[in-house]
Structure formats: C-alpha cells, structure tokens
Structure 1
Amino acid sequence: MLFSRSLIVLALSIAMILIGVNSQSGWMYWLAGLLLAALAVSWFISLFQVRGLSLVRQHLPEIDEEDTLRVTLQVHNHGRLPRNLLAVIDEDPCAGERKRPRLRAKRKALREHMRDPRPAEKESPADAGGRATFLIPFLKGGGEASLSYHRGGLRRGIYRSWPCFFYSEGIIGLARHTSRLPAEPRLMVTPHYVELGSFPLVDSFLHPQRTSREYSSKKGAGIDYYGVREFRSGDPLRHVHWKTTARRGELVVREFERETGTPLVVLVDNRAGNDTRKEYGVLLDAEARLAASVVHYAHCAGHPVTMAAYRGENPELHDVQSFHDALRWLAALEPVGGAGLEQQAEGLWPELSPGSFFCCITPARALDRSRLAAALPNMCHVALVFVDPASYNGNGSAHPAPLSSEQLITSLVEMPFPGLFSISLHRRGDGLRTCLEKPLLIYGGSIPRGR
C-alpha cells in the first residue's frame, strides 16, 4: 500500500509532468518517469517480499502470569527467490486486534536528544510486553529462519490466537505491504497465587466436621467404619475383614469414611460494573489472584471447595477436584456477571449449607447488609475480601464509586451483620499473603463458643 512518502513522490511526479507540459522540457518528463517507475518497482517488490511465506509459533500452552514466556517463530520461504529486508512482527496478545502495523523508530524529545544523542532504546517485550519485531536481512529460497524471544507482562486469560505479520517496505522504501498470519496454538495464562500459611476463616475450626450427608458418606482414609469391598493390590493386610473373607472364600477388606473439612464456597464477583471492560478486567485479575490463593490453602487443608461466578443472572459453579483445574477455571473467567453481591449470594443458597464457609471476593462497592445476611443459612461464616477500585483505576475511571473503600469498611465495623467473620482489603501493590493472612478485622463473636 502507499503511504505519506509514496504520496509525496507521486505528487512530485505529477508536478514535474505539469511543469514539463508548460515549459516543453523533455527532461522533466524523464525525471517524472523515473520517480513513477521507482514507485511502481517499490510497490511490486514489497508485495513480493511478504508472499509465499509461512510461520509457526511455538510456546508453552500454559504459564503463570508472573512467568516469562519463551516464544519461537519458525519462518519458512516456500518460493525459489530470496527475501530481503523482511520484518517479522509478533503482536502483543494483550493489545487486542491490530491491522496493518507500521514500523516507526522510537524518537526522543529534543531536550532528551540534546542530553543524550544516542538513538532511543526500545523496551524489550520480556520487560514491558508490547510488540516483538525482528528483521531478517536475507532469507534464501526454500530456506528457514528461527527467531526466539521472551515475553513478559501477560495478563490472566486465554489467548486463542494473536496475529503475526510479515512486513516489508521493499528496498527503496516507497511502498509497504503486510501479510497477516494466524497463529493456531492457544495460550492460557493462569492467575498468580501464593501459598498461605493460614487463612483465618478456614482456620476458625481446627478439626474436620460433617455438615451434610453429602460430605459424610465418602470413602477414604479415616477412623469411622464405612463398609467392605474386595481386596485390591496395595491394600494393607491389617484392613482384611477375616470373617467376611472366610464366608466368601476371597479376601475382603474394610473401608473407612474419609474425614473432610467444612465446605467452603468462594464467590468471585465478576459483574461487569459501570467501568469499561478493560478497567474492570484489571479488578477481576486481582480477584482471581486472591481466589487462587484461598482455594489453594483450603484445598490442601482438605476442605471441599466450590468456586462460583456469574454469567449474566445465572451462577456458574466449579467443584474443585484438583487445584490445577481451579486455576484453569479462573483463567477463563470474564467480567460478564450482571448481578450485585446480594443477588449473587441469594442465587448460591442451594450451595451454602448450614455451618459452611463463604468467602466473597468483590470490589469495594456499596452493599445491602440486611439482604446479604438474609441470603445466608444458619451458622454460615462469611469472609469479605474487598478489592479497592480506586487503587487500580486511579483517576481514569469514568464512573467514580459513590462510596470509598474506607467508608464501606467503617459502615461494616459499626453495623456488622450476623455471620460476618472477617474483613480484608486489598489495594494495588499490597501483598496477597498479608491481605489474606492478616485481615483488617476478625469478629470474635463469629466463632461458636466452645471451639
């Protein structure tokens, strides 16, 4: 395609032709013809440079958002003729869709250039993310080139395909062409988490307990008798039930009930809110990191964990069987909820059994305490983990919150609702471990007497 430089050459050629017509100067036609020929040659060469090529991107399928991703680009020239001055552009997956990239050298301000006349250095994708650009000076016909780099700054999410481009301005630089190539391998970036030493809500009951029939009839390691079954390789001989073995004529072993902790429901408030999708996505990333840390601790402690979010007005639940699956579920979470915190708690009534734990991870917004308390079953203990929107959005939010985080917490301290166990507040830059292990406030009355 043509751009400003091409249009200047084209305008200059037309001007020379007009001058030649008026002055009857043949050499003006000759100069105009040279300029037009150079423009046409540059257009065809740049078009040829980006055709007949293929690219394969290789990287790990899953990484933590704090890790650096190693990316390898394999470029193959399927044509017989070589390619010269070919640029390969791997777009930033977090930047969204972009069309027809143009390479521009980074420039300094005049004052900076006077202090340091050296060319401006471009930030590496490993440090600040962004676009990765490579220049292949020469690629022979049928040849291959391998390009590798490290990419950092990736946000939580699933990137099914982000574009890669071949870019060329030819040899003269009077026209440019771009060829977009889809990259098939998807990338999943899971939320970062920390291994907690404690979480007061879960640690408030030091011993496992059964809260419903669903959790009291599971087989596993324990001390209560459950039943008998046939002997399997690896079963300890001390569990053999000899009377039943003698009656059946084959080895039979005893089974025991598995001890389970108090069930925990972790609600991740993914409502869309009034801010833009990008602004609320940053809040949701922080919520996902907090949720992953809580789920990891509770799951390792033996508590049945259920994660909850919303799609519109409908709840989406995930029973945590393995922590890795929980990370994948959080990675795919989008800000598509349409209900407030109180409505979300009401929709989770079937999942909240009496005596269970309920951890709400939500932006610090105004809430109806009485309605939230009415949605909780008896003896249900609630930990509120607030994420401060002001620290993440700053002054860029188009819809400032009518109630600040401090005002919300003060109102809860003055008028707590029944079942409220603890309040935590996470601001941008705060450590996950400090926020979760040391809440701002723990209500002693929330712990039943005798514990």
Structure 2
Amino acid sequence: MGLVLAALLLGVALAWFLGRKPPTVRLTREVPGQGFEGTRVPYRVRIEIDTRRPLRVIVEDPTPLSVVSSEVLTAGGLTLGQTVTELDGSLLLNRRGEYAWPGGTLRWADPLGLFWRSMPLKVPATIEVYPGTHGLVLPDLLRPLLSEGQLSRTLGLEDPISLRGARPYVSGDPPGRVHWRLSARTGDLTVRELDRTAASSLTVFVDTSGTDVFVNSAVRLASSLIQEALALDLPVSVATPAGATPSGRTPEALRAALRLLARLEPQDPRVVGTPLVIPPPRAGGNLIVLTQKAPPDLVEQAMKARASASRVAIVAIPEGFYLEPGENPRRQWVGAPDTVRDLERRAGILAEVGVLVFVLRGNQSVLRLGA
C-alpha cells in the first residue's frame, strides 16, 4: 500500500513538473480593421504551438462584444512537438462602435490534466464598426453642384434670399414658393422665382442632446447622407457640438467622419454648462442639422450658419426614429414636442432666410425628405 501511494505521489509530482512551463504559442489574426454595422467581414486565425513535453493545451481567442464569430475560436488538445491550426470564418458586426480585441488566453496542463495554468496572449487589435446605411432619394438636399458661392439660373440649390422675379402660379408648384404678399396685392396667385446658389460640400451636424434611440437613428441617417454626397463627388464632414471632422472627399476624410459617427454617444452639452454650438460650415456648402427636439438655441445656431452656408436644412426626428425604406408603417400615439411644433409653425419664416425645415415622424419614411 505504501509503495502504491508513493508511486501515486511521484506521478502527481511528475505531472506538476511537466506542466510547469508553458508551451511556445504564436497567435496571429488576419481581420479587417473596419467594417459597417450589420455586415460580415472575413477573418483568419493562425495558432502555432511548440512544446518539447507532452501537454494538454487550449488556446482561446474570444471576439469583442457585439462582434460575433461564425466559428468558435478555440484550438488545442494533447500536444507534443509543433502543431499549426488555421481557423477561417466571418465576423458579424452587430453594433457600431470601436472595439478592442485585447488578445487570447493560453491554458495548459500536464498530460493527465491535473494541474491547469493560464496566461494571456497579448495580440492587441481594434475593430471599428461604422454605422450602417440605407437608401435615400434626396434631389433637393444633395446634387452635383458648381463652384462655391456663385449664382446660376439653372444649376445648384435655390437660394430663398436671392429673389430673381415672380410669375403666375402653375399647377405643381410647391406651396412654399407662393409669394403671398404679391398675390394679395394683384389678386392672382403668384410664385417666387429664385436664383440658384452653388455649393460644393456637405456638413451633417448631429445634435447629441437626444435620446440613445435618436442618436443611433441620426448616426445611421448621417452615414447615409455622407455616402450619397461622396457618390456625387462632394466633400463631406460630420459635426457635433464638440467639433467637426475635416471636410474632404478622400478616404481619410470619409474614415474620420465614419469614425466620429461610430463613437458618438448621447450627451447634452448644456448639462455641463457648455452652450450648444454648430461649428461654422464650409463657405458655400450645404449644412444638414439632425435633431430630436429642435431647441430654440439650435435653431438660432442654424440661422447663424446660414451666413456662410448655401443652404441649411433642419431635420427634426421627434420620436427618435423613422421608417427606413421597406419598413412597414407603425402607429404614433404621442404628438411631437412643443419645440418641434413651434419649428413647424416657423417653417415658412425660416425658409425666407434659407433655413429649410423637415419633420420626420416615427411613422414616416425617410424617403419623404426627397419629396
């Protein structure tokens, strides 16, 4: 009995000694550094294990939160000598954001699996998940334009403050074009004819003082807007109360805009005593303001921005969401906030100074912006 116990203790000691030192493990990944929300990106993980003693080895490489792998990133088993394992699959990018992929974990033990040890494998990486996009029909908000600041009779964006003349109303003319004072004086319905002012850039401002639902919707709409603008070869920029990205049409400018949108979180600057400010847009450019409640100070900032922008459009999303193309309508049980209703009442006055107003309710399609 004593010999059996001694042999058992010797075996346990030998197992502990054999598993004392970790094997040599090299973990490498091939994965894109960025992708769009809701899409899959390919990846490859290569795990090389080298051990001179028989060991049980497990290598795990879990993905960050909101990044789901199509395969379980685990390899290993009873190992002696050199082994190479390659795992191919795809990553589902569930939610926008910037995610750190710190590295894997090495676990090893003696051949009997009595004494397990572990250590981290430092293979840091970062995945940027940009917000997804959806289709848009925006002939009045985005179009290929001429050079900045010049007036044209046929091309560019209509400038409400540059009245060129008046003409009789024709069926199909938008109601906002009616010149009510002149119509009352002449007795005939008359519409204004406007010059067109050219613009060559787009800035999308996101009011971060809304809810989390609104910020997510606004980020998705902003991403769609800048993608449309780049398709028209317009320089793009994204702005928040904290600042703006550099305007440009290069991949770096697009990446900076998408990175800001990926990281954006709800934050009301007025809570910390900072005034709500719209960074000055590029001269002659097109500014689109996305907001949930349209507070008076934001409207005032939009009017100030009109001094340098060719056109300013305020898009209010009271419920914090809207219908994307293909979505079914949903019922609305709550009315718009007082600030949004006040904005609708002032829409005509604001249009006179070149600030357009769109209210996009939760049961309305985003495609109405192009109507």
TM bin (shorter chain): 0.5 to 0.7
How do 1:300-449 residues align onto structure 2 when only pairs under 5 Å count? 300-311=231-242, 315-322=243-250, 325-333=253-261, 334-335=263-264, 339=269, 343-344=275-276, 346-349=277-280, 351=281, 353=283, 356-362=285-291, 364-365=292-293, 367-368=295-296, 371-378=300-307, 380-386=311-317, 388=319, 406-407=336-337, 409-416=340-347, 418=350, 419-425=355-361, 434-435=365-366, 437-439=367-369
Partner residue of 1:248?
none
- Deviations along 1:119-163, one digit per CA (max 9) or x if unpaired, are xxxxx733xxxx934242243313322223322134334445432
Q: Is the 8 A contact 1:58 1:72 kept in 2?
A: yes
Find the aligned partners of 2:140 and 2:105 in 1 and give their Cα distance. 51
- Cα drift, residue 316 of structure 1: 2.9
Offset of residue 367 of structure 1: 1.8
Specify whether residues 45 and 81 from structure 1 end up closer, same or farther in structure 2 by C-alpha distance, changes over 3 A only: closer
If the length of structure 2 is used for normalisation, what is the TM-score?
Answer: 0.63
Q: CA deviation at 1:177?
A: 2.1
Deviation of residue 179 (structure 1)? 1.9
Instruction: Report the Cα offset of residue 309 of structure 1.
Output: 3.0
Q: 1:388 to 1:83 in 2, by over 3 A?
A: farther
Deviation readout 1:229-288 (Å, 9 max, x if unpaired) = xxxxxxxxxxxxxxxxxxxxxxxxxxxxxx9645432113456x8x8xxxx5x7655433
Residues 50-65 of structure 1 aligned to structure 2 (within 5 Å): 50-65=22-37
Tell me how far apart the structure 1 counterparts of residues 139 and 116 of structure 2 sit (CA, whole Å): 58
How far did residue 165 of structure 1 move? 1.2
Contact 1:306–1:319 (Cα < 8 Å) also in 2: yes
| From 108, 124, 129, the counterpart of 1:189 | 129
The separation in 2 between residues aligned to 1:81 and 1:387, in whole angstroms, is 66
Alignment of 1:32-111 (within 5 A): 38=12, 48=21, 50-84=22-56, 86-94=57-65
Distance 1:329 1:265, change over 3 A: closer
**Could you tell me how far 1:295 is from its partner in structure 2?**
1.2
Deviations 1:411-438 (A, max 9, x none): 53345472232123569xx9xxx42x22
- Kindly name which structure, 1 or 2, has the bigger radius of gyration based on alpha carbons: 1
Whole-Å Cα distance in 1 between the matches of residues 219 and 317 of structure 2? 12
Identify if the C-alpha distance between structure 1 residues 420 and 169 changes in structure 2 by more than 3 Å, giving closer, same or farther: farther
- Distance across 1 between alignment mates of 2:7 and 2:66: 43
Give the 3 Å change call, closer, same or farther, for CA 324–385 of structure 1 in structure 2.
Answer: farther
- Determine whether 1:287 maps to 2:223: no
Tell me if the contact between 2:107 and 2:117 (Cα under 8 Å) persists in the aligned partners: yes
The two structures have a TM-score, normalised by structure 1, of 0.53
Q: Which residue is 2:185 aligned to?
A: none
Letter in 1 for 2:358: S
Q: CA deviation at 1:70?
A: 2.4
Match of 1:153 in 2: 93
| Corresponding residue number in structure 2 for 1:125 | 69
Any unmatched runs of 5+ in structure 1? 1-25, 97-123, 217-258, 392-403, 443-451
Q: Structure 2 stretches of 5 or more lacking a match?
A: 153-196, 323-333
Structure with the higher fraction of residues in helix conformation: 1
Identity of aligned residues (%): 17
8 Å CA contact 2:136, 2:224 repeated in 1: yes
Q: Which residue of 2 aligns with 1:266?
A: 204
By percentage of residues, which structure has more strand? Answer: 2
Match of 1:298 among 229, 234, 243: 229
